[in-house]
Structure 1
Amino acid sequence: MTHALALNVLDASSIASSVGLLGLIAIIFAETALFVGFFLPGDSLLFLAGALCAADAAASGPHLQLATVLPGVSVAAIAGAQTGYLLGRRFGPRLFDRPDSRLFRRAHVERAHEVLHRYGFGRAVILARFVPVVRTFMNPLAGVVQVPVKAFTVSNVVGGLLWADGLTLLGYALGRVVPIDRYLIPITLVIIAGSAIPVVREYRSGQRAATRG
């Protein structure tokens, strides 16, 4: 009960230490499937989960098993995106026809649409995985604009594996050479800062496009 009360869904280290593998899978699924998941720390959570897999199992901090984390996050990432896509196909434009609220911003949809238009179906679905917020809204948007099911599914699987397994393995590699329990806070801050870079780039790109327009 104490762990549950201490859970902070915006903090990757809190998630990993409080709810473990099942919580990790649920967060990754929610971030890629549901609008309400756009604020969740997917990148930093995957990276940290990999680092925790490399941590000493006998240490006092949280520890995860790479053999279960990799398939778990892969399935969550792929299933989440496919769910978002199917919701977009099922409900169509009505899904985005709503006023701005605390959990919905039309600007997020417009940014995802810009990526889709700029790179085409396949590349956009894959690249969106590595752009926070955009990866959440790309999947239902692809369904709304009727991206072919086969094309989306193939790109979803490729992008999901590259993102989920790639970041997890990067974290694992770092955890093998850095004592994660000693440097948990600075490593988490670096991961969060790195996750923000694509958002800043997209924002600046949008600002330049608006200026030229």
Structure 2
Amino acid sequence: MELFSFLVDFILHIDDHLFELVVDYGLWIYVILFLIVFCETGLVVTPFLPGDSLLFASGVVAGTGHMGYLEVLGVLLVAGVCGDAVNYAIGRHVGPAIFSRDSRFIKKEHLLTAHAFYERHGGKAIVLARFVPIVRTFAPFVAGIALMCPRQFFSFNVLGCCLWVGSLVSAGYFLGNLPWVRENFGIIVYAIVVISVLPVIIELLRARFGKRQAAPRELSNPYERTPEDK
């Protein structure tokens, strides 16, 4: 419970905490930022770490001169790309075991559907997932399990990360130190979180109230293909 309270306080007052970390750790702040973003995007067990709000707050702190704008962009871009790449690699590694049988928590049928989805819309899914908390953490893992083409994944991984990091850090850098932004920073963080999860809410509502789709065609197991096909 104390950990949950700390995380909520850290996210809602992340600008203040970053200022404190800069004062306490100096240049090590870049290592701290790298580790947070890397873990949030690269490990399926840490989706609760701050993402969007951290990027925006990092831009705010950079705008005050306490961190370098280009340095923040570079560190967070590398962290985000590497995080997704590691998550994807883990997914490909555990894929054969998961596809070989149904488990209590993961149905093989769902993974086959995910594989077909990534073959058709994988690039768009990877880019859009960057802006959705929780989904951002699991999308590369599922893409790896579903055997999304590595070259395609890497290209859209870099593109999505550039859009995600570039837009939020730049917004914080250029807008974060305006008086009305500073006075309402908590509200803005709430707004960022709400806007980020809207796509998930919309998709859930569409799935709940939308029309039934036609029965899908038979899906093939990608791990049964020959090495040449992969």
Instruction: Choose 91-100 or 32-41, whichever is displaced more.
Output: 91-100
Please give the secondary structure, in 1, of the residue aligned with 2:175: helix
- For 1:212, the aligned partner's letter is R
> Does the 8 A contact of 1:74 with 1:160 survive in 2?
yes
* 1:192 Cα deviation after fit: 2.4
What residue is the counterpart of 2:212 in the other structure?
Answer: 212
What residue is the counterpart of 2:222 in the other structure?
Answer: none
* 1:199 Cα deviation after fit: 2.8
Find 1:77's aligned residue among 76, 80, 85: 80
Check if 1:151 corresponds to 2:149.
no
Deviations along 1:94-113, whole A, 9 cap, x unmatched?
4696655xxxx98xx88x94
Aligned residue runs from structure 1 range 1-213, under 5 A: 8-10=6-8, 11-12=10-11, 13-14=13-14, 16-17=18-19, 19=21, 20-55=29-64, 57=65, 63-92=66-95, 94=97, 99=104, 113=114, 116=117, 120-178=121-179, 181-209=182-210, 212=212
- For 1:50, the aligned partner's letter is G
- For 1:135, the aligned partner's letter is R
* 1:118 Cα deviation after fit: 9.3
Relative to the length of structure 1, the TM-score reads 0.76
What residue is the counterpart of 1:60 in the other structure?
Answer: none
* 1:138 Cα deviation after fit: 1.0
Please give the secondary structure, in 2, of the residue aligned with 1:204: helix
Gaps (5+ residues) in structure 2? 22-28, 214-230
Please give the secondary structure, in 2, of the residue aligned with 1:141: helix
- For 2:18, the aligned partner's letter is A
- For 2:212, the aligned partner's letter is R
Question: What RMSD in Å do the two structures reach over aligned CA positions?
Answer: 3.2
Gaps (5+ residues) in structure 1? 58-62
Q: Distance in 1 between matches of 2:61 and 2:188?
A: 12
Please give the secondary structure, in 2, of the residue aligned with 1:35: coil
Q: Distance in 1 between matches of 2:114 and 2:165?
A: 23
| Structure of larger gyration radius | 2
Relative to the length of structure 2, the TM-score reads 0.71
Task: Provide closer, same or farther for how the CA distance between residues 136 and 207 of structure 1 changes in structure 2, counting only shifts above 3 A.
Answer: same
Please give the secondary structure, in 1, of the residue aligned with 2:132: coil
Instruction: Choose 128-137 or 86-95, whichever is displaced more.
Output: 86-95
* 1:35 Cα deviation after fit: 0.8
Task: Provide closer, same or farther for how the CA distance between residues 172 and 114 of structure 1 changes in structure 2, counting only shifts above 3 A.
Answer: farther
Q: Distance in 2 between matches of 1:116 and 1:135?
A: 16
Deviations along 1:56-87, whole A, 9 cap, x unmatched?
x4xxxxx4321211001000000000000111
Q: Distance in 2 between matches of 1:95 and 1:137?
A: 15
